[in-house]
A and B are shown apart, each in its own frame.
Chain A
Amino acid sequence: MPGWHEATQKHRETGAIQTVGIVQEQHPDRTRLFMQWQRMDWPVLVDALNLLAVEVVPITLLIDEQGIIRFRGDLESLDAFLALERPASELTPEFPAPPDLDQLASTARDPESQRRHADALFLWGGPSNLDLAIATYSKILAAKPSHGATHFRLGVAHRSRYDSEHRKPDDFQRAVAHWGKALELNPNQYIWRRRIQQYGPRLDKPYPFYDWVEEARRDIQDRGETPAVLPVEPRGAEIAHPSKSFATSPTQQATSPDSQGKIYRDENGYIAAELTLVPASLAPGAAGRVHAVFRPNEAIQAHWNNEVDDLTLWIDPPPGWQVDQRQLQVPNPQQAVSSEVRRLELEIRSPDDFAAPVTLQGYALYYVCEDVRGSCLYRRQDLELEILPKG
């Protein structure tokens, strides 16, 4: 968009044209930071569900006074578009009300109207309506299992709930699985493909998605401004650079820190751990990215004890599988205790003859305390991730 922003600036100032951006992102708020960085001031609309059904970005449409698309194109068509002699008319600003969710619900009997209801729940219902949006998309898929756009939107809704207070176990994995199903149904849909690649392995990345964020923040701060806040910080896969080969690190040869399994298990659930694989299933010889997330249990006021060892994740790959790291750690922060969510990511590669489901095993070791009884313990949590062959 920066090129178009510059090319259209003087025409916007004279009122010859209007400009609008529509952004196709899971986390559209990141666009706000990008625009602040690039000093862009177009009005921008958010289309996280891809209601527009575009298969790629960027697309620029030059639309005349009557709402007809005249050019679909590149910067060169701008002059021809401006030269079009069309009757201009007064702008009639519309301030539409959001759709009436109850009315949409009462008329949602066929898949088409159910989808409109689910879209509206997602777009206008806020986080508390994500459960119903997810249930509604799922109902449509039960009747029409091969509707790619519904799989994609259900994936978007699951990932949105994962990022909200309303998160349920496996939301992220379900999102990735539905995006994968959508892409299987239409492999030419690059908006869907990018949504998986954003969280996926480096081998499958076209570019680092959000590596610009850090530079943007620095530049904005250097200007004396406060960078727009991002509710979900881009990290790991989202800022990783593409790689052409699968690299294994020296820790491949490391030894298991608890090979005998002697350390007591976290049977009280001080820490909720979740592994997610992206993509959700793997072809033979393909790479996947494993996202490991550790959340202290708020119900018992669990928190990390940072004065001892770092949180450690150990991975035991199945025979024939490669991992880029066998042992990963989250360095303890400075303060003595903390209760932040901790995240680790690693990459795996399936053997060339991968054909039957396998289980990736591992465990995490951590020092954790809880405030209900005031105990602090070193605990182990065994982790498993079932990996299915693609197709």
Chain B
Amino acid sequence: MIAPTSGAADLEVGKPFPEIILPSLDDGKPVSLGSFRGRKLVLHVWASW
């Protein structure tokens, strides 16, 4: 899980994306962002409003 003190500054070009585990919208089960390594990833942070 991401350290709670990590800030937006960590999401900078050239830095590794933090290892973070979040619930899936589908079923609430934990998903690790690390499991997407190995292929290019488009990560979109958004809200429906």
Residues of A at under 8 Å CB distance from B? 1, 4, 8, 15-25, 28-34, 42-47, 51-55, 57-72, 78, 81-82, 84, 86, 88-99, 112, 115-116, 119-120, 123-124, 149-150, 194, 198, 207, 209-210, 212
Contacts and interface: CB of A to CB of B under 8 A. Distances in A.
Top-6 shortest CB links A-B:
A34-B48, A94-B35, A209-B49, A45-B22, A44-B25, A89-B38
Contacts of B17: 61, 63, 67-69
A92 B49 contact: no
Interface residues of B, number: 45
Given A31-B25, A60-B42, A210-B49, 16 more contacts: A4-B44, A17-B41, A18-B40, A22-B43, A43-B24, A46-B28, A51-B1, A52-B11, A52-B45, A61-B11, A62-B43, A63-B17, A64-B41, A86-B40, A95-B30, A150-B4
- Among B7, B28, B33, B41, max chain A CB count under 10 A is at B41
Given A94-B32, A209-B49, A20 B44 contact: yes
B22 A97 contact: no
Given A67-B16, A112-B5, A62 B40 contact: yes
A141 B22 CA distance: 24
Contacts of B36: 18, 20, 63, 91
Contact of B22 (A51, A115, A116): A51
A21 B42 CA distance: 8
A119 B1 contact: yes
B46 A24 contact: yes
A69 B25 contact: no
B46 to A, nearest CB: 4
B49 A207 contact: yes
Nearest to B22: A45
A55 B38 CA distance: 28
Contact of A67 (B22, B25, B34, B45): B34
A20 B33 contact: yes
Contacts of A119: 1, 4
Interface string B12-23: 111111101111
Contact of B21 (A17, A64, A96): A96
A77 B47 CA distance: 21
Given A54-B45, A94-B34, A88 B39 contact: yes
B8 to A, nearest CB: 5
B30 to A, nearest CB: 5
A120 B12 CA distance: 26
Given A30-B48, A57-B46, A93-B35, A45 B41 contact: no
A123 to B, nearest CB: 6
B4 A115 contact: yes
A155 to B, nearest CB: 15
Contacts of A198: 49
14 contacts: A4-B42, A20-B33, A20-B44, A25-B48, A28-B25, A45-B22, A47-B45, A63-B36, A66-B37, A68-B14, A72-B12, A84-B40, A96-B21, A96-B32
A127 to B, nearest CB: 12
Contacts of A29: 25
A33 B25 CA distance: 11
Contacts of B26: 43-44
